[in-house]
A and B are shown apart, each in its own frame.
Chain A
C-alpha cells in the first residue's frame, strides 16, 4: 500500500506528511503532525471534539480524508493563541469556568472562533444552535455560552 505525500498549511506553517488512503485528517493531525489538541470523541461527526477550520470553514476533521487536506489551510486549537497570548475566547473560558474535564474544549473553542468570525454579535440562541454540533457532557453548556458571548462583546469593543 503506497502512501501519498500531502502538503498543507497548518496554523500558518507549511507542513508535509505521508498518509495511506483512507486515513482521516484527524488521524494525520494527531498521529503524523503531533497535534493532539483535536480529539476523537466519536469518529462519525456527531460530537465536534475534532473540530478544525479548513479554508475558513468549520468542519469535523474526522469527516475529511487526510488527502483532502492537500493544498488547504487548516487551523486547529493549537493555533488559536498567538505566541504565548491566549485568544479572548480562551481567556473567557477560563474566567467563566466554561470547562470541567476539558476534553470537548478544543473543539468548542475552534467552533466558537468560527462563529465570531462569521457573526460578531450572536444572540444566545444563535450561539447555541451554532455550537449544537459540539457535545459537552460536563457543563450543561451554560458557562460555555456565557463565555462565548462575553468574548464576542470584548472583541466587538476591541474593534471599535
Chain B
C-alpha cells in the first residue's frame, strides 16, 4: 500500500492533534474497572501452574506425572510430549524474527533444562492449592550439568556448552567445534588502522552491564479456552494479539483462524510481552481438560523465567584529532542471549555509532547463549548497552581533549544527507536541534556544588513502520469509532482517535477508539518498535481520509454537483459552487442520517505496510550528588530532549520520555540480575531487584523538538524507545565527574562506588 501520503488540509491549523485531551480509557483505568489479563474469569475455569527446573543446566532424564494426574482436582498435565517437536524455522511475528523451535522449547523444555526456572511441565487443577500440590507430585529426574552465565565465560573455549549443535555463524570460516557463540556480526567502513594512525588522541575503555528486566508491574497472565471443536479463545495481556495467535498456532500446530485472541489491557510491556510464555501452555491444558484454563505468573516467575535483556561487555576504542573530529572507532559488543540465540546485539551494533559521522569504523557483535532466561526485547533492544559504552568513551574523550561534551557531539553529529553507520541516508532528522536544546537549557549552565557531577549522553533508535490495519465506522448520528489491532501500552489509542478526529473534523469526544481482537480487525504487527503512532496512525489517517472522500461524494450526489465542487471543512461538506448559494453545509450527522440512500453504511478500512518511519535522537543531561562515604547517589536533576517529529498528544510523549529515562536511571544505579554459585537468581523479587521508587527520582524535564517526518500524515516519529538509550551513560558520566573516577561497570551501586573511591 502507499507509504507516502498527502497531508491533511490545514496542517498549520490543527484542532485536535497536538492538544491534551483526557484519554478515552481513562475513566476505566482510574476506577479499577479496566480489565487486565488476570481480571478475566469464565465458569468452570481451572488454575494452571508450571513446574520449573531448579537447575541452571541439566539433562531431563525423566518426568513422572502419574501421581499428579491421580490427585483429585487435577484435570490436565502437560510436558514437551504434548507439543509438536518443531523444526528450526525463523519467523517474524514479534519485534524481530524468532526461531520457532527455540520459542517452543523456551515455553516447554525438551530434553534439557537450560536455566533455573525453565518450564518442564504444567498442570491445570480446580484450585490454586491443588495445582501447587500437583506440581510437588511431579517427579523430575535431572542429570545436573555445569552451567555458565557470564558472557565472556560462556565465550571461553572450555565453557560448558548449552547446544552441541551450535556453530558460530558470521565468521570467515565455519568453526571446527561448537561453542556458545551463536553469531558474530560486523559493520565496517573505511580503513580502521589508517583512521587510528591519523588520530592525535586515543581513548580505550572496557565497559560492562548486568542483565536487567523490563520490570512491568503486571505479571504475565492469560485465560484460554480450547473447545471440543478445536476453536480457541485466548484473553491475554500482550503487546500483540496477532503475535499471540501466530505463536500459539505454530507451537501447537493449529490454524490461525481457529484461534481468536482478545487483547486484555496490558500492565506494561516495554518489549517483554512481545513473545509468549503462558498462552500455548494454557491452550494445551485446556485441550486436555476440556475447561478454560487461567494462568498468571508470580513475580518470582516473571524474573526467573521471562526475558530480561542481555548483560554485556562493550569494548570501545576511539581516535580523534585535537579539534575533536573523530577519525576512527572500534567497538566490540558481547551480549548474553540467555538460553537460546537471539540477543539484540545486531541492533546494538547498528545503533552504536548512529549519532556520529565517523569515516572509519569496525563494529563487531557477538550473540552468546548462556544458562539464564532467554532474553526478550527491552525498549530499544540492544541500543542502551552499546550507547553506555560509546557515550562513556566519548565523555572520556571530551575530558582528555578538554572539550565540552556537547560541543564534541556537535562536531561529529550526523545531519541530513549523512550516511548512517548502519546504512541509510538520514533525512529530516532533528539531532542537531536536540543537542542545541540541551546546550542552551538553563540546566546545562546551572552551578554544581561539592560532590556533585553532571553527565551528558546522546542516543538513537530507528523506529519501525510495518503492517497495520485500521477501520473507521461512522454511526447513524455522525459519531465515529476507530478500530485498530494494537494494544495500547502508552496512550496510543488516544492518539488514534485524535488523528481520526482531526481528519474528520469532529471533536475528540465524538471519536471513540477500540483495540479489537484478531477476528474483528485485519492484521497488525504488534505494538513495539515505537511503531503504533506512526504506522497504525498512518492507517487510521488514511481510513479517515477515505471516509472524507466518501462523504464528499455523498454530498455531491445529494446536491447534484460534481465532487470537485465539494470540500470538507470543519467537519462538514461545503459546496464550492457559487451558483448554488442556498446549499447549507452538511455535517457528519446530517450525512450519516442519509447514509442508506447515498450508498449504505459509512465505513472504511485501510491495510498498509508503513515505510519511512523517522529515526529518533535523544540528548539527556543528569546531575547527581554522591555521598563519598557511603557511595549513595542522589539524582538531583534530569533533563531530556528528544526529536519527536510531531507530538500528537504531548502529555503522552512527555510520559514516554520520562518513563524511559526512569528505566535507564534504574539500569544505571541499582538494577541487576544476581546469580548464586548454582546459577539461581538471588533477587527474583521487587525487594532486591531494585527499580527506582518515587523518592529516588526528581521531576524529569522534557524538551520535545518537532522536526517533522514528512512520511507521516502529521509528521510524527516514534518516541517510545529513544528515551532509554542515553540515561545509562548520562548517569555514569555524572557519577564519574562527581567522584573524579571513571566508572565503567553497571550498576553503580553504593558498594561499587565506595570501592572505587577507596581504590583511588
**What number of B residues sit within 8 Å (CB to CB) of A?**
57
The contact size tier of chain A is 35 or more
Instruction: Report which of B20, B32, B489, B699 forms a contact with A36, defined as CB distance below 8 A.
Output: B32
Whether A138 contacts B655 in the complex (CB less than 8 A), given A37-B31, A78-B32, A104-B217, comes out as yes
Please tell me which one of the listed residues A77, A80, A100 contacts residue B659 in the complex, with CB atoms under 8 A apart.
A100
A106 and B490 contacting across the interface, CB-CB below 8 Å: no
Checking A37, A86, A102 against B267 with a beta-carbon cut-off of 8 angstroms, the contacting residue is A102
Whether B659 and A137, one on each chain, are in contact in the complex, defined by CB atoms closer than 8 angstroms, is yes
Binary per-residue interface labels of chain A (6-41) against chain B in the complex, 1 for a CB within 8 Å, 0 otherwise? 000000000000001000000000100001111111
Which residues of B from 50 to 72 have beta carbons under 8 Å from A? none
Q: Which of B106-114, B150-158, B554-562, B685-693 is near enough to bind chain A?
A: B685-693
Residues of A within 8 Å of B39, CB to CB, are 30, 36
Q: A43 on the interface (CB 8 Å rule)?
A: yes
Given contacts A81-B31, A101-B218, A102-B34, contact A128 B23 (CB under 8 A): no
Q: Are B659 and A103 in contact (CB under 8 A)?
A: no
Residue A143 interfacial (CB < 8 Å) = yes
User: A140 contacts B268, CB within 8 Å?
Assistant: no
A140 touches B659 (CB 8 A): yes
Binding site of A, secondary structure by majority: helix, strand, loop or mixed? loop
A105 touches B29 (CB 8 A): yes
A125 (CB) vs chain B CBs: closest residue: B695
A140 touching B661 in the complex, CB below 8 Å, given contacts A42-B685, A95-B22: yes
Binds B, one of A44-52, A65-73, A152-160: A44-52
CB of B307, distance to nearest CB on chain A (Å): 15
Complex formed: what's the CA distance from A97 to B269 in Å? 18
- Per the bound structure, the CA–CA distance linking A43 and B490 in Å amounts to 25
Is A37 a contact of B658 with CB atoms below 8 Å? no
Q: How far is the CB of A110 from chain B (nearest CB, A)?
A: 9
Contact B699 A145 (CB under 8 A): yes
**Of B23, B218, B299, which one neighbours A103 at CB under 8 angstroms?**
B218
Which residue of B25, B30, B699 contacts A90 across the interface (Cβ within 8 Å)? B30
Interface string of A62-99 (1 = CB under 8 A from B): 00000000000000111011000010001001111101
B700 touches A140 (CB 8 A): yes
Contact A137 B29 (CB under 8 A): no
A139 near B695 (CB under 8 angstroms)? no
Q: Is the CB of B215 within 8 A of A140?
A: no
B217 and A49 contacting across the interface, CB-CB below 8 Å: yes
- Given A131-B694, A135-B686, the answer on whether A100 and B217 have CB atoms closer than 8 Å is no
In whole angstroms, what is the CA distance A139 to B691 when docked?
13
- Assess A139 versus B23: contact at CB under 8 Å? Given A93-B30, A96-B651, A97-B491: no
| B37: nearest chain-A partner, CB-CB | A103
Residues of B within 8 A of A141 (CB): 662, 692, 694, 697
Interface digits, B266-300 against A, CB 8 Å rule (1 contact, 0 not)? 11111000000000000000000000000010110
- Check A102–B265 contact: CB distance below 8 A: yes
Of the candidates A40, A109, A137, the one whose C-beta lies within 8 Å of that of B270 is: A137
* Chain B residues, CB < 8 A from A131: 694-695
A140-B662 in contact (CB<8A): yes
Given contacts A41-B217, A105-B29, A125-B695, 13 further A-B contacts (CB under 8 A): A44-B685, A76-B32, A77-B32, A78-B31, A100-B656, A101-B489, A103-B217, A103-B268, A127-B694, A132-B693, A135-B217, A137-B659, A142-B700
Question: Which 8 pairs, one residue from A and one from B, show the smallest C-beta to C-beta distance?
Answer: A37-B32, A103-B267, A140-B662, A102-B29, A97-B651, A140-B658, A46-B686, A77-B32
* B residues lining the A interface (CB < 8 Å): 20, 22-23, 25-27, 29-36, 38-39, 129, 214-219, 265-270, 296, 298-299, 489-491, 649, 651-652, 654-656, 658-659, 661-663, 685-687, 691-695, 697, 699-700
